[in-house]
Amino acid sequence: MRVPKKIAELVSILQEKHAKDILVLQLSRMATFTNYFIICTGESIPQVKAIAEEVFNKL
C-alpha cells in the first residue's frame, strides 16, 4: 500500500516526538468523513501535549 505524503509526514513528526504505538488506519472504504485515522500514545501528559502542538504547528 502506498502511503500519501501527508500521512508519511505526520508519522515522521510523531516519531520525532517519540510517540508510541503509532497506528495508521485506512478508512476510505468504511467512512465518508475521512480516508485515514492515526492513533498514537505518549508516556506523559506533557509529552502528549507536545505531540499535539507539533502536529498542529507543522501541518
How many domains does the chain divide into?
Answer: 1
pLDDT of residue 59: 84
- Cell readout for 41 is 500514545
pLDDT of residue 1: 66
pTM of the model: 0.86
Alpha helices (runs of H) in 1-59, residue ranges in sequence order? 5-16, 45-58
**Which residue's entry shows cell 510517540?**
19
Residue type, 52: A
Q: Left, alpha or beta for 21 (phi > 0: left; psi -120 to 50: alpha)?
A: left
Q: Tally the residues of the chain.
A: 59
> How many angstroms separate the CA atoms of 2 and 8, rounded?
10
Kindly report the CATH number assigned to the domain that includes residue 54.
3.30.460.10
Residue 30, domain extent: 5-58
Give 10-residue mean pLDDT values along the chain (59 residues): 89 97 94 93 98 94
